Structure 1
Amino acid sequence: MNAVTWEQREEIIGLLDDASAAPDVRAVVVSATGKGFCAGADLRGGSAAGERVAGDVARTIRRGAQRFIAAVLDCEKPVIAAVNGTAAGIGAHLALACDLVIAAEEARFIEVFVRRGLVPDGGGAYLLPRLVGPQRAKELMFFGDAVSAAEAERLGLVNRVVPAGELERTARAWAERLAQGPTRALALTKQLVNASLDGDRAAAFAAEAAAQEINMTTADAGEGVASFVERRSPEFRGR
């Protein structure tokens, strides 16, 4: 069920960081093989020998689950989640941190922490209220019930639900469409939307103006304006 190990987390964090820096990478798809998307953290190798001291758990969360989710939120390219099956715990948060979420009809989302007597980590209490509001977020986290793909779409957790056989094709089509877009403008738009949920209007307006100032120095912005004036389709190159 693709329970994620520490090594896998580090590899994915590195890949997302590399994607941000690579001009030829224009979009990212996070997908999985098998029956599940991600069943959460792999806890089998998580308990080290020796006495635990104060601060160990918080440090582990900061270095592990929180860095993992932040890598998705901070990636400078659009990130699509293609959720093929169960996304539980940190697996659900991995999907929900993505910019766009496409789910197969069989997919389920589970805030499994309460079933283990745990507090949600990996940004769950940050992500969920921003997607569905505080009351719905508490319902999902307090009860830990499985949410079907159809219900997740109704709640606003996912963008689109498709038959399993169409998941890969749909995700690829969305990624290819994004890859033809103005990559830097998309990166700045992503930053603005994410930051807008944490600040006031004055800060959001100031960030918007600064982002547009930066964006107007890109070749794609020049191409977009030129294509409008010349009444033709733009050809963005991600520069």
Structure 2
Amino acid sequence: MTDSVIVEKDGSIARLILNRPEKHNALRFDDLDKLVEALHSAEDDDDIKVIILKGNGPSFCAGHDYNDALRLYGLDAARSEAKPRRPSIRSRLLRDRKLGMNYMAFQNSMKPIIAQVHGHCTGVGMYIVELVDLAIAEDGTRFSHAEQRLGLAGNTWHMNSQILMYGAKKARELMLLGDEFNGPAAEALGLVNRSVPAEQLEDTVEDWAQRISRHARDALVTGKAMHQMAMENLGAAEQFGRGYVGHTLGTSLRLEPDEFNFVRERSLEGTTATFKERDKHFKN
């Protein structure tokens, strides 16, 4: 579909492949838009019964491309004397509402989605894995909600789903600490269905996809519709309306002089060095 999102079709299986390997498949906002467009195309294709979501290169998805996000949110610290004007709250809400709808698309897909997870899985990568139907990870996958250390501290898009998945106390722990954990821990938490050695990942995902594709088309979409309705009864639809407002507020914080300010530090040290400083700040 684009260089950043590759679509493969193999009989009744569609593969949506993130393709920014040099960035560990960190997604720009446009990349996420195109991924959702590809998802909807697979939903509309009557030949497709199952969708596999995976990433090229060393990682599944290392979150949003923060350089892109900060630029679009108007938070990129000025390197010139003229400081750019912050965008209005109304424009931020419009952008975040679209972002929330993109996340909802994975939860509400008419056809089953299997996430094939390896390498880094954080931020938007974690959100997608939490929202799709099934997930299989390699044992060495590095999961975390480290994006919460950027000033969110538990202000997330789909809190209802996270509480249902992890339980209230564990969900708060994952959000507030942002600690990293591996595939077997993700399986124990219920984030993924299986954690397998790296050499078994591809075959396991393909086996599950083939087995699911033996169901009738109407049965698959009816089963998913019933699952979606049950989730909505538990608040899974409302959470995205709350989530986009929370994200606008959470990315408009006033930080005090003694608090870690990612945007300020990034303007001085650069993005990669500032991520390291952020993690050191929270570990210490």
The alpha carbon displacement at 1:110 in A equals 0.8
Secondary structure of the equivalent of 1:193?
helix
**For the residues of structure 2 that align with 1:133 and 1:81, how far apart are their CA atoms?**
22
Q: 1:154 aligned to 179, 185, 188, which one?
A: 188
Q: In structure 2, do the counterparts of structure 1 residues 102 and 91 end up closer, same or farther at CA, with 3 Å as the change threshold?
A: same
Counterpart residue identity of residue 180, structure 2: A
Map of 2:87 onto structure 1:
52
Counterpart residue identity of residue 183, structure 1: R
1:115 aligns with 2:153: no
C-alpha contact 1:92 1:110 (8 A) present in aligned 2: yes
Q: Deviations over 1:202-233 (max 9, x none)?
A: xxxxxxxxxxxxxxxxxxxxxxxxxxxxxxxx
Q: Deviations over 1:48-98 (max 9, x none)?
A: 45332123333222112x122211112111100000122101110111211
Map of 2:252 onto structure 1:
none
**For the residues of structure 1 that align with 2:116 and 2:136, how far apart are their CA atoms?**
5
Q: Deviations over 1:165-217 (max 9, x none)?
A: 111111111111111212222222222223213427xxxxxxxxxxxxxxxxx
Secondary structure of the equivalent of 2:181?
strand
1:81 aligns with 2:104: no
**For the residues of structure 1 that align with 2:218 and 2:144, how far apart are their CA atoms?**
34
C-alpha contact 2:108 2:228 (8 A) present in aligned 1: no
The alpha carbon displacement at 1:148 in A equals 1.4
Per the normalisation by structure 1, the TM-score is: 0.77
Q: Deviations over 1:117-153 (max 9, x none)?
A: 1255773423211211111111111111112111111
Map of 2:49 onto structure 1:
26
**For the residues of structure 2 that align with 1:28 and 1:148, how far apart are their CA atoms?**
24
The alpha carbon displacement at 1:27 in A equals 0.4
Where in structure 2 are the equivalents of 1:28-177 lying within 5 Å? 28-46=51-69, 47=71, 48=74, 50-64=85-99, 66-118=100-152, 123-177=157-211
Counterpart residue identity of residue 38, structure 1: C
RMSD: 1.8
C-alpha contact 1:89 1:120 (8 A) present in aligned 2: no
Unaligned runs of 5+ in 1: 201-239
The alpha carbon displacement at 1:41 in A equals 0.8
Q: When the two structures are aligned, how many residues end up with a matched partner?
A: 199
**For the residues of structure 2 that align with 1:122 and 1:4, how far apart are their CA atoms?**
18
Q: In structure 2, do the counterparts of structure 1 residues 91 and 117 end up closer, same or farther at CA, with 3 Å as the change threshold?
A: same
C-alpha contact 2:129 2:191 (8 A) present in aligned 1: no
**For the residues of structure 2 that align with 1:163 and 1:122, how far apart are their CA atoms?**
31
**For the residues of structure 2 that align with 1:56 and 1:116, how far apart are their CA atoms?**
21
Q: 1:14 aligned to 22, 34, 37, which one?
A: 37
Secondary structure of the equivalent of 2:101?
helix
**For the residues of structure 2 that align with 1:84 and 1:57, how far apart are their CA atoms?**
32
Secondary structure of the equivalent of 2:136?
strand
**For the residues of structure 1 that align with 2:94 and 2:63, how far apart are their CA atoms?**
19
Secondary structure of the equivalent of 1:37?
coil
